Every structure is written in structure tokens, then in C-alpha cells.
Amino acid sequence: MRQISFSEALNEAMAEEMRRDPAVFLMGEDVGLFGGVFGVSGGLLGEFGAERVRDTPISEAVIVGSGLGAALMGMRPIVEIMFADFVTCAMDQVVNQAAKARYMSGGKAHAPLTIRIANGAPGSAAAQHSQSPEAWFMNVPGLKVVVPATPYDAKGLLKTAIRGEDPVLFFEHKMLYAIKGEVPEDDYTLPFGQAAVRRQGKDATLIAIGGGVTLAMDAAALLAGQGIEVEVIDPRTLVPLDTETIVASVKKTGRAVIVHEAHRRAGPGAEIAAILAEEAIGYLDAPILRVAAKNVPFPYSPELEQYMLPKVEDVVAAVSGLVRYTL
């Protein structure tokens, strides 16, 4: 099967959906003439024109608010938030309007709005351009939260988001844009709420989110050299969350480590840990651990940024420590 990059997979998904459905359009800062600050929308303006690939003012409130209005009137907008940190400028539109439109209309209004959000630390982007705020939106009923980790998932999940009837926050870790993977040329979608088992194992479960999947897979390879076989679970979506697959894996291995780049305090791992405490406590042989960013703003200094970010060796230490804990 052919291999393409994560960003190419996203580009293909948008182009194919725009060809399939004239109600689909893209809007955001620099998505048209510039092709997106990360190059994800390159070429779309030339094919679809400025009516369907719209460069917007530098105002996230306008971008999301306009997209929501279009969605409520029957369109299927894709809006891009250039950096996840700036979604704070559109919190009312996301949290109080888009998330609640269906509920407050008694199901009469639908908001098929896909919000693409570039998250994660790309390297010395500092405190206002490096955050991973997925957990903020897990707390809001009415929103779906997607965290793809491979090109295959990026394309299939984005197509599902665009075709759905509810607002979706689609988080794209910046350091994944260049990775390559197998992506079929045939049309396909992936269901929300269905985790992927990236690696089979018996000694511990690694639940890894977004960019954390790469860390988990690298750590799993190193741990195998120590005779420790870990199972790696990629939730793919945080809302809805495939608790069945996660709990089943932890019941099998008896140990759980959650890996994500979001800050440790109240990050997505906290919710997953609570679910495991409620549904799998009798099967756990050791405490649930989280490997995540330290609870400080992201520094500009490359050395300090690396210090506060989770690393492969942190994951290895957490898992090997749990195994020793129960020997």
C-alpha cells in the first residue's frame, strides 16, 4: 500500500469530501493562498476557489462563530485553528453555542462543524503556541474530541467528522504532520469510539494519546529488550471514549500507564485513570501512573522544554517500575 504523510492524509480527506459534497468548505487563517501555516490545505484554493477555501481575519471568534452559523444553516464547514492555544479566543462559540445547539433546540438544530486544531509542542514555540488542551473539551457535553496518531487514522477520522451531525474538535499534533504511514486510495471512514490496539502485550498496558503514541511505541520496543511486553492502546477519540477496549486490556495486564503531552494535572489521563479505578480496580496489581508534561507553562528554551515534556525514557521507567513493584 502507498505511504503518505499525516498532513497529506488530512489534505486528501478534505479534498475528497469537498468533491463529494458541495456543502463542505474550509475557512481559517492563511488556509487559502498560503496553503495553511503547516501546509495542510495546500492546493485546495486552486481546485475549489476562494468561495470554498476562505482566508479569514485573525479572529478565532469570527472563524468559529461564522462556521457555526453556516453549519446551522445546512453547510458542513471545516474551520482551522492555527494553534490550539488560540481556541481560547473562541471558547464561547465552541462551549456555549456549538456544543449546546442540538440540546437547546430539542434536536431540531444540527451543528456539523469540524474544528481542526493544531496542538502540541513543535519545538521552542513557547507558552502560547505549544499547549494540548484536549481535556478542556472532554468536560463539555455535546462536543466530540478526536486525537489521531497515524496518517490512516487522520484521513478516516476526519472524513467521519465532516460527515457527522455534531461539532467535532479534531486535534492534530504538529510533530505528526511529517510522519508517513499506509493510507489506502479507496474511500473509507473510521468510527468514533473505537480504540486501536497498536501492540499486543501481557505485562502492562500503555494508553497513549495523539503524539504520545509514538513515545509509547518506542518505549515498548525498548521494554521488550528487557523482557517486558506491553500492550499499547490508542483511543483515537477521547469523546466518545472506547472504555471497553481500555478496561479489557488492563484486566489482562494488571498494570496501566497513561501517556500524553498535555499537562499532567487534570489532563485526559486523569479521566482515564478515574474510569480504570471505577471499572478495573479489582484487576490492578499496581497504581495507575501518568507520564505527561510537567505542570508549568511551556518554556522557550529548548533544554527546558525537553525537561518538561514526557520522554521515551520516562515511559520506560514508569512501566519497568510498575513491573518491579509487583514482582
Question: How is residue 12 written as a grid cell?
Answer: 486528501
Which segments of the chain have a pLDDT < 70? 327
| Euclidean distance between CA atoms 276 and 109, whole angstroms | 35
3-182 is classed in which CATH architecture? 3-Layer(aba) Sandwich (3.40)
Domain 196-325 has CATH 3.40.50.300: no
Question: How is residue 316 written as a grid cell?
Answer: 520506560
What is the per-residue pLDDT across 263-295, written as a single tens digit (0 to 9) for each? 999 999 999 999 999 999 999 999 999 999 999
Question: How is residue 198 written as a grid cell?
Answer: 497498536
Predicted pLDDT of residue 324: 86
Go through 280-307 and write b for each residue having 16 or more CB atoms within 10 A of its CB, e for each that does not: beebbebebbbbbbeeeebbeeeeebee
Predicted pLDDT of residue 115: 98
Contacts 24+ apart (CB under 8 A), 265-271: 265/295, 266/135, 267/132, 267/134, 267/135, 267/292, 267/293, 268/134, 268/135, 268/138, 268/209, 268/238, 269/207, 269/209, 270/135, 271/135, 271/138, 271/238, 271/241
Strand 230-234 and strand 204-208: the pairing is parallel
Question: How is residue 180 written as a grid cell?
Answer: 508517513
Domain with CATH 3.40.50.920 in the chain: 196-325
Predicted pLDDT of residue 187: 97
Domain with CATH 3.40.50.970 in the chain: 3-182
| Euclidean distance between CA atoms 82 and 267, whole angstroms | 21
* Torsion of Cα atoms, 204 then 207 then 210 then 215, to 10°: -20
Question: Is residue 129 annotated as part of the catalytic site, yes or no?
Answer: yes
Widest CA span in the chain: 63
| Euclidean distance between CA atoms 60 and 66, whole angstroms | 10
Q: Could you tell me where the DSSP H helices lie in the chain?
A: 6-20, 44-48, 60-72, 91, 101-104, 134-138, 151-163, 212-224, 243-253, 268-279, 302-308, 312-325
Q: Which of 110, 129, 260, 263 is catalytic?
A: 129
Q: What is the pTM of this model?
A: 0.97
Beta bridge partners of 290: 258
Predicted pLDDT of residue 30: 97
SS3 content of the chain, % helix, strand, coil (to 5): 40, 20, 40
Question: How is residue 146 written as a grid cell?
Answer: 478526536
